[in-house]
Chain A
């Protein structure tokens, strides 16, 4: 690895001060599982690295005054996979955490790193978008909140300014009679990257769908919501026929490319299949 200075602050204010000194040459490291390979192969060459592991604020995983849950940026994929609250109420997030890398990687890899790396295939992005989560961002002038649906601006690009850092996610509780699910397609079961990923989240009242969220990964430059499909579901009773219609509508939101992992046609097919499957599971969980 190319040489760099390492700063090890123990609070957010010191982090922000260090970041403000030379933001363009600085990288933040949390788990390091995306950053270190990029530094080892020379893709990025920061002069300074700031280690977030000693900053308590980014490790929070706690209820948010009854409104939902706060998930610190440095909470690991393995924590999300195993936390009982996340497993019961925010199931799609636990499912996506369980799919990242291997156990050895998941004990290091953080949700904030997965999001800030901003790969179109990031597994933890679709559940956060489908759960209407907000990113809480700290910067020199204070804090701001950005809906996850507006966080990504392109491949490896986000709304974060160079002198800002991602503090945590605020994830609202989906409420009673809600269910969610994240699925992805990979040729291998372990240690692979999504060819397509889909998160679905539905809420029911008296058997009618009051809210539907569908977010697709690896089919555009950023994770995208399938809004036409969502609208087809809201206000309706969710039948297998309606779910099939929504799954077909979801294809419209996908703008995939062909690459070594899958062709445009295959990815569009996967969007339909995975949307149908995630909606079916989300409905079953909401009805349970």
Chain B
């Protein structure tokens, strides 16, 4: 049960890291790479707090073995935007005061980013469907939907310019 070399891309950087074969992608990101944005809520794929992108698609990183990410591109909330250069979603979440306790927010943002990548002018239904896999125990969904909707227009206008 020796550690294995996991070679993949994390937030656009090539990474080689030694991981135990039985750890999840979430644990490797948090414990081995120090990326503590993705959270473990339930550990069974029900809450969405661990959502990251695998080759651009949102996945539950608690349900994947770390080694299954070999050769793939992973993006975490740390790679969505940066301080001073927030992603339009992050900017809208801050401006509208979406986060309450904040635990679910990294996962919600990654799920929302996938909605925006797939749909230019998402309807409220598109947004609700896109974040249906993310539980917010503060129940702050109304502001989330408003912020994602605003960000979608910012992204679309940015692309048009």
Residues of A within 8 A of B (CB): 1-6, 8, 29, 31-33, 36-37, 40, 49, 51, 53-54, 78, 101-105, 107-108, 189-191
Contacts and interface: CB of A to CB of B under 8 A. Distances in A.
A240 B134 CA distance: 40
Interface in B14-72: 20-24, 43-46, 48, 51, 54, 57-60, 62-65, 67-68, 70-71
Interface string B101-139: 000000000010010000000000000011011100000
B45 A33 contact: yes
Contacts of A3: 1, 20, 22
Interface residues of B, number: 33
16 contacts: A4-B1, A36-B24, A36-B63, A36-B64, A36-B65, A49-B65, A51-B65, A54-B71, A102-B60, A102-B134, A104-B45, A104-B48, A105-B63, A107-B59, A190-B132, A190-B133
Contacts of A5: 1, 21
A103 B130 contact: yes
Given A37-B44, A40-B44, A104 B22 contact: no
A92 to B, nearest CB: 20
Contacts of B71: 54
A80 to B, nearest CB: 14
B43 A32 contact: no
B156 interface: no
Contacts of A51: 65, 67-68
Contacts, number: 92
A32 B63 contact: yes
A102 B68 contact: no
Most buried by A among B57, B59, B111, B130: B59
A105 B45 contact: yes
Most buried by B among A37, A107, A189: A107
B69 to A, nearest CB: 9
Contact of A108 (B4, B64, B132): B64
B46 A191 contact: yes
